[in-house]
Structure 1
Amino acid sequence: MAPPTLTPEQREAALAKAREARRARMALLARISSGEETIRSVLQRAHSDPVVGKVKVSQLVRAIPGYGPAKTEALLEGVGITGGRRAGGLGSRQREALLTALS
């Protein structure tokens, strides 16, 4: 199936919306890195906030100081969360297992 044909105005609007979403996700990860926001508070908003819900769990964990790719992968594997899982798609048990493993 071919993607829909967009007018130049529609294309520009879609690109602007995508840029804004990327900026919001980057700001969220920066707040986690700086300690302004905790993973617990972010995961509580995951179902109601579309920006938070679309961030991969691996990116959220990797934003925590001291967690690199290897440590993040081991943590997520230990709690049974696949690497591509998004924050909005976590179930309550997965969320609690992740928070327990991080504390």
Structure 2
Amino acid sequence: MALPVLTAEARAEALKKAVAVRKERGEVLAQLKDGKVSLKEVLEREDPVVGKTYVKRLLESLPGIGKVRAEQVLADLAIPESRRVQGLGARQRERLLELFPSAA
């Protein structure tokens, strides 16, 4: 399937949307890192911006969790690295909250 040819106006509008989404995602992850919102609150959001965030990136935003620990957690829970928050099952969400009770 070929990509549609966008006009200059359509391309500019798409770029504006992309910037807005990145900014909102960054704000949510920064709030999680600072402890202003909990992991439970983020996982319960029905926000499409949060839903399309990779679980690995979400875990890396938790205080004290780096890339290696995030990868270990994903492996232990059998969650693929390409999984997004909206693709998590109920049990996977529960297990994440059990592993990080201080972030909940």
| TM-score tier (shorter) | over 0.9
Q: Say what the alpha-carbon RMSD is for the aligned residues.
A: 0.8
- Distance apart, 1:66 and its partner CA: 0.6
In structure 2, stretches of 5+ residues that fail to align are: none
Give every structure 1 segment of 4 or more consecutive aligned residues whose post-TM-superposition deviation is greater than 4 Å: none
Aligned equivalent of 2:48: 50
Q: Indicate yes or no: 2:30 matched with 1:30.
A: yes
For 1:55, what is the secondary structure of its paired residue? coil
Q: Residue 63 of structure 1 aligns with which residue?
A: 61
Q: Which runs of 5+ in 1 are unaligned?
A: none
TM-score between both structures, scaled by the size of structure 1: 0.94
Counterparts in 2 of 1:69-80, with a 5 A limit? Answer: 69-80=67-78
Match of 2:13 in 1: 13
Q: TM-score, normalised by structure 2?
A: 0.93
Instruction: Report how far residue 28 of structure 1 moved.
Output: 0.7
Aligned length: 101
